[in-house]
Amino acid sequence: QLVESGGGLVQPGRSLRLSCTASGFTLGDYAVSWVRQAPGKGLEWVGFITNKADGGTTEYAASLKGRVSISTNYSESIVYLQLNSLKTEDTAVYYCTRGGFNWGQGTLVTVSS
Amino acid sequence: DIQLTQSPSFLSASVGDRVTITCRASQGISSYLAWYQQKLGRAPKLLIYSASTLQSGVPSRFSGSGSGTEFTLTISSLQPEDFATYYCQQVINYPFTFGPGTKVDFK
């Protein structure tokens, strides 16, 4: 199971850290992606962190590169998505997913002044 | 980046209809394609991975085919619970892009 948290209302230019807490499996054994969906829009891949054996390396969507980072706390089974310099167009529901097989329920981030 | 297009964008159908959705990739992606179903307000649900492998627990009326640049998702007999939006996603190259979606609605 995956559960996202940390969303909310944030002003443009601020930062936010989202959490994805895993249970029922060993987080370090799997890669995790973040995907977002703006209101009324389609799915957009945000980024990805590989499993522990593959070094926990990261990849990001070009549109977000420089403003986003993904990290993992293996002992707490949490994957983080750090969003910086937020823009109104970052308003979306953010999902974490284990290879597309398991998804969290999503957490809504609203960027507005 | 690999671009995915889906056709149609919108589809009106009735219960019992056979429905086919096409996903085309801007370059060859072998069989590195997944299909998802998403209902309003819910997280996506994996239906098919590796282009044609049915995810555990997904009804057998769903099937996927194709390789390279052209893929199809077929629902053999549409059921009331199948009215949703369907997305394809390529997972061969970063970024793992999604198609724009196909909304299946009541005729």
Are A19 and A35 within 8 A, CB to CB? no
Q: What is the pLDDT of residue B60?
A: 98
Residue A32 confidence (pLDDT) above 90: yes
d(CA B65, CA B30): 11
Beta bridge partners of A83: A16, A68
Over range B73-93, report the average pLDDT.
Answer: 97
Are A68 and A82 within 8 A, CB to CB? yes
The verdict on a CB contact (< 8 Å) between B89 and A104 is no
Residue B107 confidence (pLDDT) above 90: no
Selecting from B1, B46, B99 the residue whose C-beta is nearest the C-beta of A100 gives B46
CA distances from A71 to A3, A91, B8, B61, B63 (A): 16, 21, 38, 39, 35
Tally of CA atoms within 13 A in the half-sphere of A72 that contains its CB: 26
Q: Which residue of B has its CA nearest to A39?
A: B41
Number of helices and strands (H, E) in chain B?
A: 0, 10
Rg (CA), chain A: 13
Cβ within 8 Å of residue A53, ≥6 positions away = A28, A29
Token couple for B61: 């009326």
Residue A27 confidence (pLDDT) above 90: no
Q: Look at residues B43, B86, B47, B33 and name the one whose alpha carbon lies nearest to residue A103.
A: B43
**Could you tell me what percent of chain B has a pLDDT over 90?**
98
pLDDT 10s digits, A79-111: 999 999 999 999 999 999 999 999 999 999 999
The verdict on a CB contact (< 8 Å) between B94 and A104 is no
B34 lies within 8 A of chain A by CB: yes
Are B48 and B34 within 8 A, CB to CB? yes
Give the count of Cβ contacts less than 8 A between chain A and B.
Answer: 48
Please state, rounded to an integer, the average pLDDT across all residues of chain A: 95
Residue A8 confidence (pLDDT) above 90: yes
The verdict on a CB contact (< 8 Å) between B44 and A43 is yes
Over range A45-55, report the average pLDDT.
Answer: 94
Residue A27, classed as helix, strand or coil, is helix
